[in-house]
Amino acid sequence: MCGIVGYIGSRDCTEVLLNGLTKLEYRGYDSAGIAVFQNGKISVAKSKGRLKNLEEKMEQENSRPFGHVGIGHTRWATHGEPSDVNSHPHSGGRVTIVHNGIIENYKELKDYLISQGVTFDSDTDTEIVAKLLDYRYNGSPIQTISATVRDLEGSYALGIIFADHPDQVYAVRCESPLIVGVGENESFIASDVPAIIEYTRDYYLLEHEEIAVLSGDGVQIFDSFGTPIQKELKTADWDVEAIGKGGYAHFMLKEIHEQPTAIRNTISPRIQDGLPNLEECGITPEVLRRFRHIQVVACGTAMHAGTVGKYVIEKLAKIPVTVDIASEFRYRDPLVGEGDLVIIISQSGETADSLAAMRLAKSLGAKTLAIVNAMGSSIAREADMLIYTHAGPEIAVASTKAYMVQIAVMYLFSFELAFALGQIDEAECRRLIRLLQQTPDAIQSILEHKEKTQYIAASLINADSLLYIGRGLDYALSMEGSLKLKEISYIHSESYAAGELKHGTISLITDNMPVIAVATQKALMEKTISNIKEVKARGAKVIMICRSSDDIDAEAVDLMFGLPDFEDILMPMIAVVPLQLIAYYTSVLKGNDVDKPRNLAKSVTVE
């Protein structure tokens, strides 16, 4: 999604903006631009493509602005194709803005402005906001912003500069995230902490329709009516190192290797005397006993983590769990209400569909529990109960360590729920917790012997399409393996419940459609092996992910990745690691941009 950075201070503004935008690259974008006050005038530079295209363009045209106040943007196209003209900043004349989000009533506003004689250069909804601000501008930036945003429907975070206020940067938000960084004699606006952490750790989190004014005197914040307000200054506890690659070729590889630590950081504070304790998150045995049904809502990888949770909760706690994609849930008149617990899982805590689904669930009377990685994000703030995952910043678009800690939390939650409901006794609960605590070591052992995954990846790069199969928890895991591969390798793949193949999909099997079979559930092993034989008999090359100790007929498979022996129910945490690595190496071997796959954004803050 789009990234915003703004700066006022004594540094070279262009450098701060470009540096900050580089730190937001992980969000995904297809064009970039900056606007900087130079000798009292706004100088704009923008370009389609990566930030390096913008830098090259400024160098070639000798147009790199120099000044100390400005705004910058990376755009992920929604209205209008990626192009120089559609790139931000957009100007309305006296007002220049950058925007993250979608203005839903843009057509109506555009028609009105056209009727007033206003003309447009781009296809963006953002230019309409710039022109509307300019049309309304009465010399008072705060009054103008406050009046204009009342007419906007949709989501937005805006960075704004006014030509006649060269010593100020303005910002306002609704739904789309925006923070205001406070340094010594300098201030910043940004879509996310990594953009500013090099300069300051102190920041304000802008709330709905709040307006920030950054000037030489520091930062002032106003409510939507223009009344000054006091806000709590937050401190980002992120490690600057954590947002660098730390010697790894890609963020994704680094994040895969961070998984053992991320699990420990996430589960340790929630285990006391060998038992799960989620009290600090608002979850007690009494609270847990109130629910008769659990609904999990999330998108993409987070939804896959919820699917693992479904199998585990139903098996241990014997409560029905349904899992829904947030964009479906929010529009299907869902049957949730009092007595239901709705769990929203999100790494970013800003995914538009997940946020809307959570609000809907609350309005229907359900209790909501958010499992979120990004501190202070919208979903985290609005949920009734909250469990933070402590994965640290996840930069690669393909989610790995966030998935790992999401499922770790689902296990903790399931153990506590099953114990609270009397479905498992204390001894069993303690045993499961001990096993969960051992998962980081098992994962580490895979990371230390990962070469085989490169070999498997090399065997996949020429395939047009792949199938991931499994049963039960292995099926839940196959979904994640398949998504990981397709999003970064660009090879089509599907996950399928192994027993369902015969009902249609097996007709696709050829010798150019490798099948990755995940088989970690002992009770289902024989059944999965029968399915493997069926696809093998039809020419498929089969790659099997199972325990090293499993006695597999060498004839039945072409390649195998052996996992350490572990309890069945916890195997998804172990078995996902080779699936992540296979996807990673396939992408590397194909020469793709692993951390920033085409067309994708890290945080999907628009519908």
Residue 185 CB neighbours (<10 A): 10
Rounded to a whole number of angstroms, the minimum distance from the CB of residue 302 to ligand M6R is: 4
Instruction: Tell me whether residue 258 or residue 487 sits nearer to ligand M6R (CB atom).
Output: 487
Handedness of CA 380, 384, 390, 395 (dihedral sign): negative
Q: N- to C-terminal Cα distance for the chain? A: 11
Residue 458 CB neighbours (<10 A): 12
Binding of residue 347 to ligand M6R (CB under 6 A): yes
Rounded to a whole number of angstroms, the minimum distance from the CB of residue 351 to ligand M6R is: 3
Q: State which of residues 399, 414, 528, 586 lies at the interface with ligand M6R (CB under 6 A).
A: 399
CB 549 within 8 A of CB 565: yes
Rounded to a whole number of angstroms, the minimum distance from the CB of residue 307 to ligand M6R is: 12
Q: Footprint of ligand M6R on residues 348-367 (CB under 6 A)? A: 348, 351, 354
Instruction: Tell me whether residue 242 or residue 275 sits nearer to ligand M6R (CB atom).
Output: 242
User: Which one of 36-44, 205-213, 344-352, 545-553 is the stretch in contact with ligand M6R (CB under 6 A)?
Assistant: 344-352
Distance CA 83, CA 43 (A): 19
CB 371 within 8 A of CB 228: no
Distance CA 344, CA 278 (A): 16
CB 190 within 8 A of CB 183: no
- Per-residue tokens: 350: 């800003």
Rounded to a whole number of angstroms, the minimum distance from the CB of residue 219 to ligand M6R is: 28
Binding of residue 398 to ligand M6R (CB under 6 A): yes
Interacting residues of 327 by C-beta distance below 8 A, sequence separation 6+: 299, 353, 607
Rounded to a whole number of angstroms, the minimum distance from the CB of residue 131 to ligand M6R is: 32
User: Which one of 175-183, 285-293, 296-304, 428-436 is the stretch in contact with ligand M6R (CB under 6 A)?
Assistant: 296-304
- Select from 201, 418, 399 the least CA-distant residue to 305: 399
User: Which one of 27-35, 71-79, 115-123, 392-400 is the stretch in contact with ligand M6R (CB under 6 A)?
Assistant: 392-400
Distance CA 517, CA 579 (A): 11
CB 171 within 8 A of CB 178: yes
Q: Footprint of ligand M6R on residues 426-485 (CB under 6 A)? A: 483
Binding of residue 253 to ligand M6R (CB under 6 A): no
Binding of residue 299 to ligand M6R (CB under 6 A): yes
Instruction: Tell me whether residue 263 or residue 299 sits nearer to ligand M6R (CB atom).
Output: 299
Instruction: Tell me whether residue 389 or residue 453 sits nearer to ligand M6R (CB atom).
Output: 389
Single out the catalytic residue among 48, 254, 484, 602. 602
Binding of residue 493 to ligand M6R (CB under 6 A): no
Output Rg (C-alpha) for the chain, integer angstroms: 25
- Per-residue tokens: 537: 């008999």
Q: State which of residues 155, 187, 295, 346 lies at the interface with ligand M6R (CB under 6 A).
A: 346
Instruction: Tell me whether residue 148 or residue 378 sits nearer to ligand M6R (CB atom).
Output: 378
Distance CA 444, CA 345 (A): 25
Rounded to a whole number of angstroms, the minimum distance from the CB of residue 149 to ligand M6R is: 26
Distance CA 367, CA 69 (A): 45
Q: State which of residues 24, 103, 129, 302 lies at the interface with ligand M6R (CB under 6 A).
A: 302
Angle between helices 473-489 and 300-317 (to 10 degrees): 170
- How many residues touch ligand M6R under the rule CB under 6 A: the total is 16
User: Which one of 178-186, 218-226, 342-350, 542-550 is the stretch in contact with ligand M6R (CB under 6 A)?
Assistant: 342-350
Distance CA 55, CA 50 (A): 9
- Per-residue tokens: 273: 């005397």
Q: State which of residues 418, 604, 605, 606 lies at the interface with ligand M6R (CB under 6 A).
A: 604
Q: State which of residues 397, 491, 588, 606 lies at the interface with ligand M6R (CB under 6 A).
A: 397
Distance CA 279, CA 531 (A): 44
Binding of residue 124 to ligand M6R (CB under 6 A): no
User: Which one of 39-47, 65-73, 226-234, 394-402 is the stretch in contact with ligand M6R (CB under 6 A)?
Assistant: 394-402
Binding of residue 605 to ligand M6R (CB under 6 A): no
Full DSSP string of 315-370: HHH---EEEEEHHHHTTS-----TTEEEEEEESSS--HHHHHHHHHHHHTT-EEEE
Catalytic residue check, 602: yes
Q: State which of residues 38, 301, 327, 378 lies at the interface with ligand M6R (CB under 6 A).
A: 301
Instruction: Tell me whether residue 367 or residue 401 sits nearer to ligand M6R (CB atom).
Output: 401
- Per-residue tokens: 498: 């192994």
Rounded to a whole number of angstroms, the minimum distance from the CB of residue 6 to ligand M6R is: 24
Q: What is the DSSP letter of 176?
A: S
- Per-residue tokens: 597: 């796959």
Query: What amino acid positions are annotated as catalytic residues?
Result: 2, 602
Binding site for ligand M6R (CB under 6 A): 299-302, 346-348, 351, 354, 397-399, 483, 487, 603-604
